[in-house]
Chains A and B, each alone.
Chain A
Amino acid sequence: MIEVRDLTHRYGDSGGNAGAPGNDTGAEAGPFALRDLSIQIPDGEFLVLAGANGSGKSTLVRHFNGLLTPDEGEVLVDDTPVGDDLVAARTRVGMVFQEPRDCFVAATVARDVAFGPENLGLPREEIDRRVERALAAVNMAGRGDERLDRLSGGEQERVAVAGALAMDPAHLVLDEPFTGLDESARESVLAHLLELHRDGTGIVLVTHDLRDVLEHADRLVVLADGEIAVDAPPSADLDAIDDLPVRRPERC
């Protein structure tokens, strides 16, 4: 379970936390990215986190595994504050970034997917097993020796997902995973995410485009100006997003 309690975060001059207590450097504290926000995400839930650009979506999910430090409030993963055990938080919450190339640290598929398990200090056999399993989960089995820069955008996105999966996370957080993908690549990535969800992995999908994804979600959370504007099952509350700048499914 990911639990966020009264989280406040201000944009800082140096990329975050300039306004944090104990970090009074004289740099200007920026505007609020998140304001007094609380949310609980149970294991196995498929949550769609929507909102306009600058609404605080990406900032919120970066708190789930301690990439940012709260200015106020706290974030817990399995009842442990994230800051108390970063390794546990980053193992339990896998993160896939908006631009897959940002995630890559190696030249070939398998070497990159192995990066996380290597950091956990696992035996080589276990690392190989995890790499194979993660690649199979995104339909990239047998392609471990291919160069990353020769893959298509959709394939790169799937490798980035595999890189996070190799950590064996309970929650997979994807920040705008469909950006720049064509329709077939988008469908392919989404199909693999749904399969992971069926197998028990919790999915937190950050997007401003609700097409195709809403029908599969357990819950829709919409952020506006750093606060939760909507938190409801997708079927119940679609009227509430009429005034919010997100792309709605056409059928609604």
Chain B
Amino acid sequence: MLTYEPGDSVGHRLDARSKLLLQAAFAAAAFGHTDPVGLAALTGLTTALIALASTTPGVVFVEYRGVLPFLAAAPAIESLRLGAPWIDPAAAVDPALAAYRTLLLLALVAAYVRTTPVRESEAAVARLVPGKAGRLLGLGVGLVFRFLPVLQADLARTREAMAARLGDRRPLRDRVRLVATAGLTRVLSRTDRLAVALRARCLSWDPTPPESTFGRDDVLALALAAALAGWALWPSFAAAVW
């Protein structure tokens, strides 16, 4: 399950704001350079960045194993034709590159989630977006990060209990319906209990934030983010000037 893993990697030492900005710049670069050469460069950078966050490509594949079939399906579907020659491989190239770009972004997200405590993400968002809107957004981010793993665990237990009574022999549509219904019931019940628990612990819109951990590594990260942002904008700039 994709959650925070305590550690002492470079990724762990970085301030959450630096990591968020780096991700935003990386995303911009990935959308600015969709050709194979650009994606190859970003692949190298992704490999280095996730290694600095104590994350391996294997971990990324395991965490996103449920997403991978959908990413693979997009180019496959795009290449299908309703008439002869039935399959057009050239049509699959662009969706394949887009799917690959998404995978790179997901790898960075995995590295972020594994190296950043929820409370720091919450505080980083509140610091980046000024005013009440930022605090509200931060609180929302914190709730999502805390709530999703709980729901995932609930659904996993429901599926396991179904399997124990041979529920996995049912047609896929039936299983999806059963897990979705049970999941929705659990979500509603969990949400009620979470709301009570948060009120019981004096949920605040303006809690004491964790200490800022901004350091020398963050300067390097921000420099890299600036370089990526510049690289992302370069094609548009070059087209405008020349």
Q: A13-B59, A15-B1, A25-B61 are in contact. Are A67 and B166 (CB under 8 A)?
A: no
8 Å CB interface, B123-178 against A: 154, 156-158, 160-167, 169-170, 178
User: Would you call B182 and A105 a contact (CB within 8 A)?
Assistant: yes
CA distance A26 to B65 in the complex (A): 13
User: Would you call B178 and A26 a contact (CB within 8 A)?
Assistant: no
CB < 8 Å neighbour of B167 from A62, A97, A99, A105: A105
Asked whether B210 is an interface residue with its Cβ less than 8 Å from the other chain, the reply is no
Which residues does chain B contribute within 8 Å of A164, judged by CB atoms?
164-165
User: Would you call A27 and B59 a contact (CB within 8 A)?
Assistant: yes
CB < 8 Å neighbour of A65 from B164, B167, B170: B164
User: Would you call B62 and A167 a contact (CB within 8 A)?
Assistant: no
Asked whether A90 is an interface residue with its Cβ less than 8 Å from the other chain, the reply is yes
Interface residue tally on B, bucketed by range: 20 to 34
User: Would you call A26 and B166 a contact (CB within 8 A)?
Assistant: no
How many residues belonging to A are interface residues under a CB distance threshold of 8 Å? 33
User: Would you call B167 and A115 a contact (CB within 8 A)?
Assistant: yes
User: Would you call A26 and B164 a contact (CB within 8 A)?
Assistant: no
Binary flags per residue of A101-115, CB closer than 8 Å to B gives 1, else 0: 111110000000001
8 Å CB interface, A19-43 against B: 24-28
Q: A95-B164, A115-B167 are in contact. Are A26 and B157 (CB under 8 A)?
A: no
CB < 8 Å neighbour of B165 from A13, A25, A28, A167: A167
CA distance A161 to B54 in the complex (A): 44
Q: A26-B56, A99-B157, A105-B182 are in contact. Are A13 and B167 (CB under 8 A)?
A: no
8 other A-B residue contacts (CB within 8 Å) besides A27-B59, A105-B178: A13-B62, A25-B58, A25-B59, A25-B62, A102-B154, A105-B167, A119-B165, A163-B165
Residues of chain A having any CB pair with chain B under 8 Å:
13-15, 18, 24-28, 62, 65, 67, 86-87, 90-91, 94-95, 97, 99, 101-105, 115-116, 119-120, 149, 163-164, 167
